[in-house]
């Protein structure tokens, strides 16, 4: 159950500065802001209207209910503000089991993506028992490429994403053993 009494279909985690929880309908304003901003939506499906953002919230909540994984809503503890979405993602037809991220422009550059991605990596390796994790990153997305590198992942190949995306991305990967043996930066 969330702070406002809503039921969540998956686990809730806290990091030093963040709360990671499955999305709830009250997150729609944040998701809509993320998907309406050309810069933040550029590499995660492009600018979308509010109605599509609602469907994205519902898709992620449904993924938690159906598969036991999905991207969390990222809430900044200090302010209670929704700042993005990140976490495990593996929909039908996706090339690999992924940990992905997307933050509001106002939340970028503060280390939130790294902090949340580290918690997500621990979750997929420790709780979901994944052997390997990937990040599907557009070659022009320098910020995500830097984060994937900082997490210890490396590019293993190029891959065309399935419809409706149909864009070629870099597949960054690492194994559970590599993750556990890393030096955190």
CATH of domain 13-89+96-180: 3.40.630.30
pTM recorded for the entire structure: 0.92
% of the chain surpassing 90 pLDDT? 90
Q: How far apart are CA 185 and CA 172, in angstroms?
A: 18
Q: Tens digits of per-residue pLDDT, 129-158? A: 999 999 999 999 999 999 999 999 999 999
Whether residue 101 contacts residue 115, with contact meaning beta carbons closer than 8 Å, is answered with no
């Amino acid at each position: 159950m969330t702070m406002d009494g809503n039921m969540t279909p998956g686990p809730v985690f806290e990091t030093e500065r963040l709360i990671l929880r499955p999305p709830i309908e009250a997150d729609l304003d944040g998701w809509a802001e993320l998907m309406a901003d050309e810069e933040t939506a550029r590499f995660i499906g492009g600018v979308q209207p509010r109605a599509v953002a609602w469907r994205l919230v519902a898709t992620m909540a449904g993924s938690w209910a159906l598969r036991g994984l999905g991207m969390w809503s990222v809430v900044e503890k200090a302010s209670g503000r929704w700042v993005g979405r990140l976490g495990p993602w593996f929909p039908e037809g996706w090339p690999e089991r992924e940990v992905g991220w997307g933050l509001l422009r106002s939340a970028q550059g503060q280390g939130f993506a790294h902090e949340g991605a580290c918690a997500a990596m621990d979750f997929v390796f420790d709780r979901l028992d994944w052997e390997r994790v990937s990040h599907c990153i557009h070659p022009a997305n320098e910020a995500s490429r830097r984060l994937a590198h900082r997490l210890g992942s490396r590019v293993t190949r190029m891959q065309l994403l399935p419809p409706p995306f149909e864009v070629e991305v870099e597949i960054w990967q690492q194994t559970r053993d590599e993750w556990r043996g890393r030096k955190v930066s």
